[in-house]
Amino acid sequence: MEGGPVVTRFAPSPTGALHLGHAYSALRARAFARMRGGAFLLRIEDIDGARSRAEHVAGILDDLRWLGLDWDGPVTFQSARLEGHAAALDALAARRLVYPCFCTRAEIAEAASAPHGPAAVYPGTCRDIDAGPRMGEAHAWRLDVARAVAAAGPIDWWDEHAGVVSAVPEAQGDVVLARKGLATSYHLAVTVDDAAQGVTDVVRGVDLFDATHIHRLLQALLGLPTPRYRHHPLLVGADGERLAKRRGSPSLASLRAAGVEGPKLAAGLMKDIAPAGYSIGRD
């Protein structure tokens, strides 16, 4: 991708309100593209139909405009690309690189004996079972990472701060690529959609660094181009914890309602200056 036009994107999920961390990521992605005469895209990742809300989409647009942030072309919606995601899943299934999993979240957590982070690494319970008699039951489709790694061979990717990174997707386990009621997963959808939109540089938080190992593997399996990755530090609160929707971090809408000036806030964030009570980690 060296030498070609730069394309970045901001891709929030409309499952809640944006917070300062989202603003920081969007501003960095836009600035990177603008400084290189490239394009900055806005994609709404609304594949979770049960949790996505139209009012959150409207709130995202209001928040970005309040910050003084613009984007190129129309807003795109991930839910409009489900056929492309399904085709990618079918391609993996044709190579026997995915398998149906019937385990519940509780069963997975109980089976995982080692300490784990936000999500347990799947122990492979359903990997080798005869799934035929159970295909009428609710199930997810998991990537058989061991088989996938063998098929892809050695692969790597480039990160702005880490340099060339050898992909080790095995550490993430057999991740879910689709499940009943959710025709695709974050991993599959973001990989397919970034390629479809010609994204050359993925600018996102360092909390997604590990996920890139899986995304690089999917790119190799599906014959998709590999963008450059620029994982930036995260905003944290006074307690040192990163901002997150599920932790009830203050929203941009609440700052706007309190009279904060969006462009002034944006200018500070672009200089790595966070509002009082927040700080930005180191690159």
Distance CA 17, CA 257 (A): 13
Distance CA 20, CA 22 (A): 5
Distance CA 17, CA 254 (A): 9
Q: Which of 180, 245, 264, 271 is catalytic?
A: 245
54 φ/ψ angles, rounded to the nearest 5 degrees: -60, -35
**Three-class DSSP category at 204:** strand
Asked if residue 250 lies in contact with residue 274, where contact means CB atoms within 8 angstroms, the answer is: no
Distance CA 53, CA 280 (A): 29
**What six digits make up the tokens of 81?**
């690309």
Asked if residue 173 lies in contact with residue 121, where contact means CB atoms within 8 angstroms, the answer is: yes
Contacts of 234 (CB under 8 A, 6+ apart): 21, 205, 206, 207, 242, 243, 280, 281
Pairing between β-strand 140-143 and β-strand 98-101 as defined by DSSP bridges: antiparallel
Q: Catalytic residue at 180?
A: no
Give the Cβ contact number of residue 90 at 10 Å.
10
Give every strand in the sheet of 201-205, ordered side by side: 163-166, 156-159, 228-232, 201-205
| Cα→Cα distances 81→54, 200, 227, Å | 18, 19, 20
Q: Where in the sequence numbering do the catalytic residues fall?
A: 245
